[in-house]
Amino acid sequence: MKKEAKRGVVSGLKEVLGKSVAGVVSSYQGIPTPEIVNLRHKLRDANLELKVVKNTMIRRAAQSVGFNSLSEHFDGANAVVLGYDDVSAPARVLTQFISSSGVGMTIRGGFLENRWLSENEVSIMATLPTRDELIAKVLGGMQSPIMGLVQSLSSPMLGIVYALNARIQQLEGN
């Protein structure tokens, strides 16, 4: 590859690393091409991207973006899954793909902004709910007390109590 082409690849990597919020680094050696294509489709559906590049190029891109802690973790044949919206999506989608397809990929680690994550931290991140699920849970928690109040105020028993109270006040007034 000529120097100009390498510079283009590094600048493209700088761009995607700069806008990514999280990523997962995994091995990909020995994976059949149809499985890699299948993985790329699953990742594309989740607004994720798979990058397979030479380690020297991704190290240079990581250092120029300020991800100095990442550059030391790129050894061997690596594939990087990058996420742009949901921080847990790269770990979740890749982990689900590995377990469902039975391919021999192993997760080596990951990153969240400028922090390197170990394999265990990536597996924990894979179990986190999506951003939309978290928002739904928060809104459901906020709505729960209000719904309880509405249900108790509209219960038939409460209507009977109000009717009895009105009748008692009517009798006391006569």
Q: Are 36 and 94 in contact (CB under 8 A)?
A: no
Q: Which amino acid is at 142?
A: M
**141 lies in which domain range?**
132-173
Spatial neighbors of 30 by CB under 8 A, at least 6 apart, are: 104
Other Cβ atoms less than 10 A from the Cβ of 40: the count is: 14
Give the phi and the psi of residue 157 in degrees, each rounded to 5.
-65, -40
Q: What pLDDT sits at residue 95?
A: 92
Tokens of 24: 């997962």
* Number of compact structural domains in the chain: 2
* Residues 123 and 147 occupy one common structural domain: no
Q: What pLDDT sits at residue 157?
A: 61
* Residues 32 and 117 occupy one common structural domain: yes
* Residues 117 and 139 occupy one common structural domain: no
Q: What pLDDT sits at residue 149?
A: 66
Q: What is the mean pLDDT of each run of 10 residues along the chain (174 residues)?
A: 83 86 87 89 91 85 80 80 89 91 86 86 88 82 72 65 76 73
* Residues 78 and 118 occupy one common structural domain: yes
CA distance 12 to 36: 21
* Residues 110 and 150 occupy one common structural domain: no
* Residues 88 and 11 occupy one common structural domain: yes
